[in-house]
Amino acid sequence: MEEVRPVAGVQADLQARALAPLRRTSRGYYLLAGALLLVILWGGYAYFVQLRDGLYVTGMRDRVMWGLYISLFVFFIGASMGGTFISAILRLTKAPWRTPITRSAEMITISALIVAAVFILFDMGRVDRVFNLLRFGRWESPLTWDVYGLITYLAGSVLYFYLALVPDLALCRDLIGRTASAPRRWLFRQFAVGWTGSSEQRRALGVAITIMTILIIPVAVTMHTVTSWIFAMTLRESWDTALFGIYFVGGAIYSGTGLVIILMAVLRKAYRLEEYITPQHFLYLGYFLAAFALVMIFFNANEFIVQGYKLRGDVSHHIENLFYGNLAPQFWTYLVIGLLLPPYLVLYPRTRRLAGIVVAAILVNIGMFLERYNIVVGGLDVPLNPYPTPVYSPTWVEWSLAAAGLAGFALIILLLLKIVPSVAVWEMEEQREAEASRRVVAAAPGGADASAQTGISTP
Amino acid sequence: MKMRSLVPLVAALLGTFVLYVSTAAAQEARPRLLLRFPPEASVGKETILGARLQDASGDPIQGATLTFHAPVVFLNTVDDEVTLGQATTDKDGLASFRYTPHRDGGLAITVRSAGRDQWAPVEATETLSVTPGPDSYVETAPLRVPGLNYRLLILLLGGTWGLYLVAIAFLWKVSRRGGRSARETGDA
């Protein structure tokens, strides 16, 4: 018969492991944070050069005026959507394997949204005029929709993240509040909002979480669709397609799932959560990844077959550019490692293991970044006038700021891990208690007999 | 002084006086500028604006340059006027100016003559009624759906933020229950 550990014992172990990073900081953490800070500082210097000398220090010019920054902006918006989508869908469907995943997914969303907004600031030559977007933005412009959408989505994601965090913040308040530093003690006390776990509080919090779980899905989908409209509402041949909305949403879920897998693998290893983040979780997310890989393959095939059949206008130039022009290396890399290899790794039994799925997730994100780059730069590569084809190549400034953005993304998650548990402890405890109760009920007709056999006290 | 020696002086004075009076009379003899515009014009279609310059006695003035002006309207305020062109009066005092309107509505066109020694400057204004033509820019969206404008955006954003506030309200309820429990525990 399956050995079942006592709930109380499991609970204590889970709490200990989940709260361990909040109690003490390892040398590895400091080293990693230090390295990320160094990269960010170097990015700060690059930004200073850009502010001082203007956007001329980048590879962007009059014909290719969007490059690495906007590609990364689109990539991170996609990543954020993937995180939210997974968390919300799993919560809504009450998938039993959701509990160790939701926290990681929500952290990715918050961090990715902040970094995405920062890349917009990098792309602006006059960052002091950023509020003009709010003051003078035209209602008819997709850029205005995107600005308001981003603000709304960020606010919703933070609220969604925080609501599910309240019981865990109360746990931190009770278990480590006395030994934590004064700022963290204050944070735990204030943001736990007096949580005691009473039935009234659970009911109220449950309603709030349900509202946000349902609401955040259309907000996330809308946000990424609106981001795609920045391109699709133009008259550029390669962007002017009705497919962009669903294409961006599908790509977002695809790359977001990959990032969740990567983060979960790191947390599992770093915080010894092997018992709670099991290979089964990776397998299910891997299947999710494979499914969306097939969806993306379908979208790409549809796009190229339909466009290639007609080769109308400048589309032929764009397709030539992608298949055997100056964007060919990125395009074929994206196709092979971003679309074809990941589902193979996930579905082929010999590679369908934790390591294989994590490798697939990494390849997905590399491929999806290249795909975003092809969309942004490839679309601008098609000349609207009889000029020579522009050639865009990011400069050291752009690469430095890109690295700084990526480092910032990792650092935000690192900082969050010092404030909140890496897994949703209260949800996992609730789930284990519910499972234990079900096991007791199913095990024997008598309650006493069941208790004796399993060692679990019935409520 | 003898009368005979005063005659040249008196003649000079009289002559000066007559010269002055005749010049002043000429200055005061304002011509008349009569405008002859068509009853209606159409955007994008050339029309002929006519003007007739007559002196005070009604005789035509030949060879006078008439300039045609129109107001410049921007953001619903009249800032300045622009010169449309000029035409020269013929022996009948008539001048014709070919003009193609680019905007519909009432257009107040002012015609001016700078004047010369013989006649004073004069101007006249008349409104040309211009109807929309095939070249007019018609400011309508290709797709007209009632409410599909910025109001929809405001509605969506407002609705979303409203639901956020509802969720926050439930969170506040959690906080209130926690405060009440703390007080009850403290009382116990």
Mean pLDDT (chain A, rounded): 88
Tell me whether B173 touches chain A (CB under 8 Å): yes
**Closest to B174 (Cβ–Cβ): which among A155, A166, A215?**
A166
**Closest to B167 (Cβ–Cβ): which among A148, A152, A212?**
A212
Could you tell me which of B107, B115, B116 has the C-alpha nearest to residue B72? B107
CB contact under 8 A, A200 and B177: yes
CB contact under 8 A, A195 and B157: no
This prediction's pTM: 0.75
How distant is the Cα of A286 from the closest Cα of chain B, in angstroms?
32
Tell me whether B74 touches chain A (CB under 8 Å): no
Instruction: Search chain A and give the residue with CA nearest B152.
Output: A139
Which pLDDT does position B25 carry in this prediction? Answer: 56
> Residue A324 and residue B65: Cα distance in Å, rounded?
67
pLDDT digits (tens, 9 = 90+) for A123-171: 998 888 888 888 888 888 899 999 999 999 999 999 999 999 999 999 9
For residue B179 the two structure tokens come to 């405060």
Amino acid at B117: D
Is pLDDT above 90 for A76? yes
> Residue A99 and residue A212: Cα distance in Å, rounded?
17
Instruction: Search chain A and give the residue with CA nearest B163.
Output: A211
Which pLDDT does position A2 carry in this prediction? Answer: 39
Could you tell me which of A166, A152, A158, A171 has the C-alpha nearest to residue A106? A158
Residues of A contacting chain B (CB within 8 angstroms)? 139-140, 145, 148, 152, 155-156, 159, 163, 166, 193-196, 198, 200-201, 204-205, 207-208, 211-212, 215, 219, 222
Whether the CB-CB separation of B71 and B131 falls below 8 Å is answered with no
CB contact under 8 A, B161 and A195: no
**Closest to A195 (Cβ–Cβ): which among B150, B156, B178?**
B178
For residue B135 the two structure tokens come to 């070249």
Instruction: Search chain B and give the residue with CA nearest A150.
Output: B157
**Alpha carbon distances (Å) from A333 to A205, A326, A340, A344:** 46, 13, 10, 15
pLDDT band at B129 (very low <50, low <70, confident <90, very high): very high
Tell me whether B98 touches chain A (CB under 8 Å): no
SS (H, E, C) B121-138: CEEEEEEEEEECCCCCCC
pLDDT band at B22 (very low <50, low <70, confident <90, very high): low
**Closest to B177 (Cβ–Cβ): which among A148, A156, A201?**
A201
How distant is the Cα of B171 from the closest Cα of chain A, in angstroms?
6
The interface predicted TM-score (ipTM) is 0.85
pLDDT, average across residues B132-156:
72
Tell me whether B103 touches chain A (CB under 8 Å): no
pLDDT digits (tens, 9 = 90+) for A245-296: 999 999 999 999 999 999 999 999 998 889 889 999 999 999 999 999 999 9
pLDDT band at A108 (very low <50, low <70, confident <90, very high): very high
